[in-house]
């Protein structure tokens, strides 16, 4: 019986947690860059979806249920802040990383307008 438990423990230790990611950016070069970085990293990260639209991203997140969303802050129609708010309403356990090429002053203005 102890041998069986040892085998089960060994098999359990071999199972590694995979982090699933959805990437959202309206700039194809940024999408490519994020994909390149993630694919060059550890094998424990899998991109389960990419899109250039915040609206499509929300649908993709609800369908794919990723662990992490990497999104551009400034996108037309549904920006990264509003996307974050909506994702957190539906899937509060999803982690969100917002990225942008804008300056710090721009961030303050955006944050003050969006509360």
Q: Residue 100: its pLDDT value, please?
A: 83
Within 8 A by CB and 6+ apart from 92, the residues are none
In tens, the pLDDT along 23-79 reads 999 999 999 999 999 988 877 899 999 999 999 999 999 999 999 999 998 888 888
Q: Count structural domains, the chain.
A: 1
Give residue 102's domain range. 17-114
Domain membership flag for residue 10? no
- In a domain, residue 12? The reply is no
- Residue 80: inside a domain, yes or no? yes
Q: Is residue 52 part of a domain?
A: yes
Going by C-alpha positions, the residue among 90, 84, 42, 28 that lies closest to residue 64 is 90
CATH number for the domain harbouring residue 67: 3.40.50.2300
């Amino acid at each position: 019986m102890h041998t069986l438990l040892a085998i089960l423990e060994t098999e359990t230790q071999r199972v590694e947690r995979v982090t699933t990611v959805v990437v959202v950016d309206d700039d194809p070069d940024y999408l490519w860059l994020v994909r390149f970085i993630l694919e060059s990293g550890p094998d424990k990260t899998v991109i389960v979806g990419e899109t250039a639209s915040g609206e499509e991203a929300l649908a993709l997140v609800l369908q794919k249920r990723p662990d992490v969303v990497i999104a551009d802050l400034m996108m037309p129609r549904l920006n990264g802040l509003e996307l974050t708010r909506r994702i957190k309403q539906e899937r509060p356990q999803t982690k969100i990383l917002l990225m942008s090429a804008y300056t710090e002053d721009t961030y303050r203005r955006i944050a003050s307008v969006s509360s």
